[in-house]
Amino acid sequence: MAIYLDYNATAPIRPEAREAANAAMDLLGNPASVHAAGRAARALVEAARADVAEFVAVKPASITFTSGGTESNALAIESGVLAGFERIILGATEHSAVAENARAKSATVEVWPVDANGVADLDWLAAALARPGKALVCLMLANNETGVIQPVAQASALVRDAGGWLHIDAVGAVGKIGIDFNALGADTMALVGHKIGAPFGIGALAAGPRSKLSRLIHGGGQEQGRRGGAENVSGIAGMAAAARAATRDLPKMAAQAQWRDGLQARVEAVGAVTFGAAVPRLPQTLGFAMPGYESTLQVMNLDLAGVMVSAGPACSSGKLKPSATVAAMGREDLAANAIRVSGGWASTAADWQTCGDVWLAAFEKHLARRQVV
| Positions marked catalytic | 315
Contact 295, 311 (CB under 8 A): yes
Q: How many angstroms separate the CA atoms of 42 and 300, rounded?
A: 46
Q: How many angstroms separate the CA atoms of 223 and 230, rounded?
A: 9
Would you give the end-to-end CA distance of the chain in angstroms? 33
Instruction: Show the CA angle centred on residue 146, arms to residues 359 and 182, nearest 5°.
Output: 145
Q: Which H or E element spans position 108?
A: strand 108-112
User: 10 CB contacts (<8 Å, ≥6 apart)?
Assistant: 194, 195, 200, 314
Q: What is the 3-state secondary structure (H, E, C) of 114-131?
A: ECCCCCECHHHHHHHHCC
Classified as helix, coil or strand, 58 is coil
> 305: how many CB neighbours lie within 10 A of its CB?
16
Q: How many angstroms separate the CA atoms of 286 and 159, rounded?
A: 30
Q: Which H or E element spans position 246?
A: helix 233-248
Burial of residue 254 (CB within 10 Å: 0-12, 13-18, 19+) is middle
Contact 290, 363 (CB under 8 A): yes
Largest CA distance in the chain: 75
